Amino acid sequence: MSDTTARQRTIAKEITLTGVGLHTGENVTMKFVPAPEHHGYAFKRVDLEGEPIIEADANFVINTQRGTNLEKHGVKIQTSEHVLAALVGLEIDNVLIELDSPEPPIMDGSAKYFVEALEKAGIVEQKAEREEYVVKDVISYKDEGTGSEITIIPSDEYQITTMVDFGTKVLGTQNATLEHITDFKTEIADARTFSFLHELEMLLEHGLIKGGDLNNAIVYVDKEISDTTMKRLEKAFNKKKLSVKPNGILDNLTLHQPNEAARHKLLDVVGDLALAGTRIKGKVIANKPGHFVNTQFAKKLAKIIKQDKRNNVPNYDLNKAPLMDVTEIMKMLPHRPPFLLVDKILELSESHVVGVKNVTMNEPFFVGHFPGAPVMPGVLQVEAMAQTGGILVLSTVPDPENYLTFFMKINNVRFKRQVVPGDTLIFKCDLISPIRRGICHMQAYAYANGKLVSEAELMAQIVKTKSD
């Protein structure tokens, strides 16, 4: 993982769009709502009881037929990809998407109208630093059945190349490349969704494209078209007369670019990979991409990112003079030996702290805790993390010696490896949300020997003691 100097971003105000859902044909009202730091992307179904929220997470993908469809606790969101692509393309990190229907409006089948709405709402910087996954090794996923494959390789920025080959005369091999995410708006956002005539006929037969009109889909005619089929299409799309252009598409619209299909596939890749949940620094090469392979790759990537985050031990020079030694720590913390479990502080900012403890055989707890096979108790590792976090919260008041820190909540505690005499423990605590009213909510990690040994989500409050 890499914490870049760039800040997280959200939108300045709410903005609403209306349209129809491509597959449901229902009128949809969609609202983009500003969201706090570390929120990411999530959908809220305001038409359902309790207004349930579904996070944009690859693990919630249930099927990828005719779009990327998410489901959580029985609540569904269909065709999420174009909206997510617009958010990634504008480098917006935190937004809540409110919907009164299972799917966003299709608009013209591209991300253009979403981009325009988000820009109209205004993009604002937040305080927290943006998290980015820096690709160091080649990661691939291949669907053996279709031959579709996605690979990501190291790169100085997020880049995407898509190569499509539909094996038809009307739409053969096409490529599209996005060199800089900042070019998404001008190069990719207006690329519209497309369909082949044979797919369209099947969708119409099964009543699966109710909201479609020919203003939001390019139709490639990949087979002979009979008069009967043409009449059905004219009726379905409410057009008096349709014909096939020389370039093999129905004459409802004009292509924006010759490779609009490949560009739209690239748009889909951007939207689907948003489900990995973290910004990416690497080059994606997608050969014959589709929603299935895209989301499987996003799922694999999310897993790797999570493991990397846990195992990516921060690199600190333990020989360097500390920011605070044990005597300075004791000026802030009320704890004293044998219950003071932090030896020095290496780093301290408004949002994080790094502390160190050297574990020796002389620890008092080893007298009773497996003296024949000494292992540092897990609860004391959590206590040591909390003491390190205490330094962070106490650094926000001018007279820390007049405060005590009390636990309010401990969640998601995991112990990964044993801690034994001779280990040097490094504690890193990051704020999950800003400190308010002396309440500190943080994610804490403990590392030893280049590995994660324990982690916990901690909430503590500082309380002022009565002064004399």
DSSP secondary structure, 391-438, as one string: HHHHTTSS-GGGEEEEEEEEEEEEE-S---TT-EEEEEEEEEEEEETT
Q: Which range among 104-118, 223-237, 386-400 shows the weakest confidence by mean pLDDT?
A: 223-237
CA distances (Å), origin 11, targets 92, 133, 267, 278, 384: 8, 23, 21, 18, 38
Concerning whether 291 is annotated as a catalytic residue, the answer is yes
Does residue 424 fall inside a structural domain?
yes
Does residue 450 fall inside a structural domain?
yes
Q: What is the pLDDT of residue 3?
A: 45
Of residues 218 and 284, more confidently modeled: 284
Distance CA 7, CA 414 (A): 30
- pLDDT range class, residue 113, cuts 50, 70, 90: very high
Distance CA 343, CA 357 (A): 5
Residue 386's domain is classified under what CATH number? 3.10.129.10
Residue 289's domain is classified under what CATH number? 3.30.230.20
Does residue 199 fall inside a structural domain?
no
Helix pair angle (81-89, 260-273), 10° resolution: 90
Query: Are 293 and 397 members of one domain?
Result: no
Query: Are 431 and 367 members of one domain?
Result: yes
Query: Are 157 and 297 members of one domain?
Result: yes
Query: Are 297 and 381 members of one domain?
Result: no
Q: What is the dihedral sign for C-alpha 389, 392, 396, 398?
A: positive
Query: Are 374 and 302 members of one domain?
Result: no
pLDDT in tens, 322-367: 999 999 999 999 999 999 999 999 999 989 999 999 999 999 999 9
Q: Which range among 148-162, 273-287, 300-314 shows the weakest confidence by mean pLDDT?
A: 300-314
Query: Are 348 and 460 members of one domain?
Result: yes
Domain span at residue 38 reads 2-192+256-311
- Single out the catalytic residue among 82, 264, 291, 441: 291
Does residue 6 fall inside a structural domain?
yes
Q: What is the pLDDT of residue 467?
A: 57
Distance CA 292, CA 64 (A): 5
Does residue 228 fall inside a structural domain?
no
Q: Which range among 280-284, 302-306, 312-316 shows the weakest confidence by mean pLDDT?
A: 312-316
Query: Contact 126/249 with Cβ under 8 angstroms?
Result: no
pLDDT in tens, 225-239: 888 878 877 777 777
DSSP label of 102: S
Global pTM?
A: 0.71
- pLDDT range class, residue 5, cuts 50, 70, 90: low
Query: Are 367 and 437 members of one domain?
Result: yes
Q: What is the pLDDT of residue 383?
A: 95
CA distances (Å), origin 289, targets 177, 236, 298, 387: 13, 29, 12, 49
pLDDT in tens, 170-223: 788 999 999 999 999 999 999 998 888 877 777 767 766 554 555 567 888 888
Share of the chain above pLDDT 90, in %: 67
- The contacts of residue 443 (CB under 8 Å, 6+ apart) are 429, 430, 432, 455, 457, 458
Closest C-alpha among 278, 296, 280 to residue 140? 296
- pLDDT range class, residue 4, cuts 50, 70, 90: very low
Query: Are 59 and 83 members of one domain?
Result: yes
Mean pLDDT, rounded, for 307-319? 78
Both tokens assigned to 169:
């005369």
E strands, 82-147, are 95-99, 123-134, 139-143
Share of the chain above pLDDT 70, in %: 95
Q: Which range among 312-321, 360-369, 378-387 shows the weakest confidence by mean pLDDT?
A: 312-321
Query: Does the pLDDT value for residue 264 go beyond 50?
Result: yes
Query: Are 104 and 17 members of one domain?
Result: yes
* Residue 408 neighbours by CB distance under 10 Å: 11
Does residue 459 fall inside a structural domain?
yes
Phi first, then psi, for residue 294 (nearest 5°) are: -60, -50
Q: What is the pLDDT of residue 323?
A: 95
Query: Are 261 and 372 members of one domain?
Result: no
pLDDT in tens, 8-66: 999 999 999 999 887 777 899 999 999 999 999 999 999 999 999 999 999 999 999 87
Does residue 60 fall inside a structural domain?
yes
The DSSP-derived string for 12-56 is SS-EEEEEE-TTT--EEEEEEEE--TT--EEEEETTSTT--EEE-
E strands, 46-103, are 53-55, 61-63, 69-72, 75-77, 95-99
Query: Are 366 and 304 members of one domain?
Result: no
What is the number of domains present in the chain?
2
Query: Are 279 and 387 members of one domain?
Result: no
Phi first, then psi, for residue 408 (nearest 5°) are: -110, -35
Mean pLDDT, rounded, for 455-467? 86
Burial 336-370 (b: 16+ CB within 10 A, else e): eeeebbbbbbbebeebbbbbbbebeeebebbeeee
Does residue 75 fall inside a structural domain?
yes
Concerning whether 441 is annotated as a catalytic residue, the answer is no
Q: Among residues 311, 342, 374, which one ends one of the domains?
A: 311
